[in-house]
A and B are shown apart, each in its own frame.
Chain A
Amino acid sequence: MSNFIYRTGKTTLDLIGHIKEILSLLYTTVSWIFTGPFRKKPASRPSIFQQMVFAGVQSIVIVFFIALFTGIVIAMQSAYQLKQLGAIIYVAPMVSISMARELGPVFTALVVAGRVGSAITAEIGTMKVSEQIEALETLALDPVRFLVVPRFLALIVMLPCLTIMADIIGVLGGMLVGVFNLKLNFYRYMSFSFDFLTWKDVWTGLLKSFCFGAVISMIACYVGLDTRGGAEGVGRATTLSVVISFILIVLFDCILTGLFYFSNV
């Protein structure tokens, strides 16, 4: 029994310690972004660009397919329900609103966490276990400025961009079902899609994906920098990074949706 209490307490304290360190990493990263240019030590542009290409451009294909089929599936599933009400045209706003508010940001973030977050953790983790992080420190180069800042910037910029793309592709996916299967008029479908969509739907979705970008990059970099124990440690860190990112994305999604749509403030 006392063992159980001991372990619970230890786990809790460890967790609090990790959360503190992640927040302090976030603080250091953000302060480097803003003070770096004034201290004549900005993050290197080629490296930010390279990360943007990796996180953004190279994720386009997978995000395209995920968004397209998500849009198709929502259209098919909602058509089945809406048919009974004789409101089949409402498939269009159903798809566009759910993509913009929820599915676009979340699915894109999940895909990017799996594809980019894991790669970041594996790369930084390998650098950690092969003394490269220490080498950076010894060369008087801050690992946060050198490794974390470019990845953080790349993700908070590219994830909303990918989300915009996912939203549009999702609507087009729904349109395929609407026009070719449900025999709805293309122009009518499109005007319904956008007439019901408010600005709030779009910007809350983008704000969410901005937060997810920060979450993914922070978790991936922190777990990477915390890696111990050789090749096995890198594997464990990579898995851990993806699992934590997934949970936090869904958790943050829940909190943000609550704030945007269910708070009485």
Chain B
Amino acid sequence: MISFIMKENTEGREVVIEVKDLVRKFGDRTVLNGVDLKVYKGETFVIMGGSGCGKSTLLRHIIGNLKPTSGRVMLLGQDITERYGEELDEVRKKIGMSFQSSALFDSMTVGENVSLPLKEHTKLDKGVIEIMIKMKLELVGLRGFEDLLPSELSGGMRKRVGLARAIAMDPQIIFYDEPTAGLDPIVAAVIDKLIIDLSKKLSVTTVVVTHDMKSVFTIADRIAMLYEGKVLEVGTCDEIKNSKNEMVQQFINGSPDGPIRFFQQKDDYLESLFKA
């Protein structure tokens, strides 16, 4: 008990997500190779890294959609690697997720998309749910669009509707998978501003997975850099900017030459050319 209190004091804040030595293998390929992370309550935590470094896979492990080969994920104090079905759903009701492709249900209108979790998980009556949809859509600046279908919206609007759906159940943590990917700079900036606004207005914990450096430094309280399935470095924006790690510097500055090789050669080039 004393050690528990000591730990709380040294950390200062409550831990809402804790990833311990997470390993995930797909066949022979190791995608996550021992990830350790802690996310504190109320902060905006950004996981950045190049394409294919396993950051989306990590996110899917944190929300319980994938199960690890070994290691543990504690989400809101629950070990979700050992939870299935309804137990897992109870934890999931407390989180919201905004997907890279928005993942809106095509057959439903904007209003139905946002109200779906409310209709399914609460006993609120129709009138209240309608008011709540209006409030959620107002937060993302899309009030009045309830009756449109997702196919009638632009990419940025779909992202925002997905966000409204993610916050419908008033989650304690919001996850974003590549929130600005495929959007023009202005819309990307709007989404960044929205992420900051929501985390302030709703005072939630925010976890963002992205490789968009501009938005990383705009929104992040703390940053983790992921490379080849491992956490290279964790720190605040300034700590990461002034990092001594060459890989981190290469990634931030986006330079093609450096310790991170873009071409991954498996065998000798000449040898493979003349092997035939």
- Residues of chain A at the chain B interface (Cβ within 8 Å): 126-127, 130-132, 134-135, 137-142
Q: Which of B85, B99, B120, B121 contacts A135 (CB 8 A)?
A: B99
- Among B111-137, those with CB < 8 Å from A are 116-117, 120-121
Q: Which residues of A contact B99 (CB under 8 A)?
A: 131, 134-135
Q: Which residues of A contact B169 (CB under 8 A)?
A: 139
**Cβ contact within 8 Å between B97 and A135:** yes
**Which A residue sits closest to B100, measured CB to CB?**
A131
CB distance from A25 to the nearest CB of B (A): 15
Query: Would you call B95 an interface residue if the criterion is a C-beta within 8 Å of the partner chain's C-beta atoms?
Result: yes
**Cβ contact within 8 Å between A132 and B117:** no
Task: Give Cα A138–Cα B116 distance, bound, in whole angstroms.
Answer: 12
**Cβ contact within 8 Å between A139 and B100:** no
Give the interface centre of A126, A137, A142 by most chain B CB atoms within 10 Å.
Answer: A137
**Cβ contact within 8 Å between B63 and A138:** yes
Query: Would you call B203 an interface residue if the criterion is a C-beta within 8 Å of the partner chain's C-beta atoms?
Result: no
**Which A residue sits closest to B97, measured CB to CB?**
A138
Q: How many A-B residue pairs have CB under 8 A?
A: 50
Q: Which residues of A contact B121 (CB under 8 A)?
A: 140
Main secondary structure of the interface of B (DSSP, over half): mixed
**Cβ contact within 8 Å between A138 and B106:** no
Q: Which of B63, B90, B100, B106 contacts A132 (CB 8 A)?
A: B106
Give the interface centre of A130, A140, A141 by most chain B CB atoms within 10 Å.
Answer: A140
Q: List 30 A-B contacts (CB under 8 A).
A: A126-B106, A127-B105, A127-B106, A130-B106, A131-B103, A132-B104, A132-B106, A135-B97, A135-B104, A135-B105, A137-B65, A138-B65, A138-B92, A138-B95, A138-B96, A138-B97, A139-B92, A139-B117, A139-B120, A139-B165, A139-B169, A140-B89, A140-B90, A140-B92, A140-B117, A140-B120, A141-B116, A141-B117, A142-B85, A142-B89
Q: Which residues of A contact B63 (CB under 8 A)?
A: 138
Q: Which residues of A contact B97 (CB under 8 A)?
A: 135, 138
Task: Give Cα A17–Cα B229 distance, bound, in whole angstroms.
Answer: 30
Query: Would you call B101 an interface residue if the criterion is a C-beta within 8 Å of the partner chain's C-beta atoms?
Result: yes
**Cβ contact within 8 Å between B116 and A130:** no
- Among B50-97, those with CB < 8 Å from A are 60, 63, 65, 85, 89-90, 92-93, 95-97
Q: Are A132 and B92 CB-contacts (below 8 A) given A137-B65, A138-B65, A141-B116?
A: no
CB distance from A39 to the nearest CB of B (A): 8
**Which A residue sits closest to B123, measured CB to CB?**
A40
